[in-house]
Amino acid sequence: MNVSSKLLIVVSLLFVFVSCKTSEEIKREKLVDTLSVQMVQSQRASADQSVYLQDFEEKIAKLSGQVELKTHENKKFQKTQKELIAVLQQNQSGLLKQVDEQKKQIQELEDKLEVQQEFISKVLDTLKKMNNKKVTKVSSSYDKAMKTYRSGKYKKAKQMLTKLSKSRKFKGNKMARILHNLGMSEYMIKNHSNAMIYFGRLLSKYPKSPFNPNGMLFLSKSLKRVGRKSEAKQTLEEVMERYPDSRSAKKAMIILKKMK
Specify the CATH number for the domain of residue 250.
1.25.40.10
Q: How confident is the model at residue 178 (pLDDT cuts 50, 70, 90)?
A: very high
Q: How confident is the model at residue 31 (pLDDT cuts 50, 70, 90)?
A: confident
Distance CA 84, CA 107 (A): 34
Q: How confident is the model at residue 113 (pLDDT cuts 50, 70, 90)?
A: low
Q: Is residue 27 part of a domain?
A: no
- For the chain, the maximum distance between any two Cα atoms, rounded to a whole number of angstroms, is 198
Helix (H, G, I), strand (E, B) or coil at 243: coil
Residue 231 contacts residue 208 (beta carbons within 8 Å): no
Model pLDDT, residue 18: 45
- The winner for highest mean pLDDT among 2-11, 87-96, 128-137, 169-178 is 169-178
Of the candidates 232, 237, 234, which has an alpha carbon nearest to the alpha carbon of residue 219?
232
Q: Is 82 exposed, middle or buried (0-12, 13-18, 19+ CB in 10 A)?
A: exposed
Model pLDDT, residue 13: 57
Q: Is residue 246 part of a domain?
A: yes
Model pLDDT, residue 214: 96
Q: Is residue 175 part of a domain?
A: yes
Angle of CA points 83, 88, 89, to nearest 5°:
95
Model pLDDT, residue 81: 78
Q: pTM for this structure?
A: 0.48
Distance CA 95, CA 219 (A): 69
Model pLDDT, residue 135: 47
Residue 257 reports pLDDT greater than 80: yes
Contacts of 249 (CB under 8 A, 6+ apart): 213, 239, 240, 243
Q: How many domains does the chain have?
A: 1
Q: Is residue 42 part of a domain?
A: no
Q: Is residue 146 part of a domain?
A: yes
Model pLDDT, residue 241: 95
Residue 15 reports pLDDT greater than 60: no
Residue 186 contacts residue 192 (beta carbons within 8 Å): yes
Q: Residue 176 belongs to what domain range?
A: 137-259
Model pLDDT, residue 58: 81
Helix (H, G, I), strand (E, B) or coil at 20: helix
Q: Is residue 92 part of a domain?
A: no
Find the Cα–Cα–Cα–Cα dihedral 218, 223, 227, 228, rounded to 10°.
Answer: -140
Residue 260 reports pLDDT greater than 90: no
Model pLDDT, residue 2: 59
Residue 178 contacts residue 161 (beta carbons within 8 Å): yes
Helix (H, G, I), strand (E, B) or coil at 245: coil
- The winner for highest mean pLDDT among 19-33, 83-97, 121-135, 158-172 is 158-172
Q: How confident is the model at residue 17 (pLDDT cuts 50, 70, 90)?
A: very low
Model pLDDT, residue 255: 92
Q: Is residue 113 part of a domain?
A: no
Distance CA 225, CA 227 (A): 5
Angle of CA points 145, 146, 148, to nearest 5°:
65
Mean pLDDT of the chain: 81
For the chain, what percent of residues have pLDDT higher than 70? 80
Residue 192 reports pLDDT greater than 50: yes
Model pLDDT, residue 98: 84
Q: How confident is the model at residue 221 (pLDDT cuts 50, 70, 90)?
A: very high
Helix and strand counts by DSSP (H, E) for the chain: 8, 0
Distance CA 213, CA 248 (A): 6
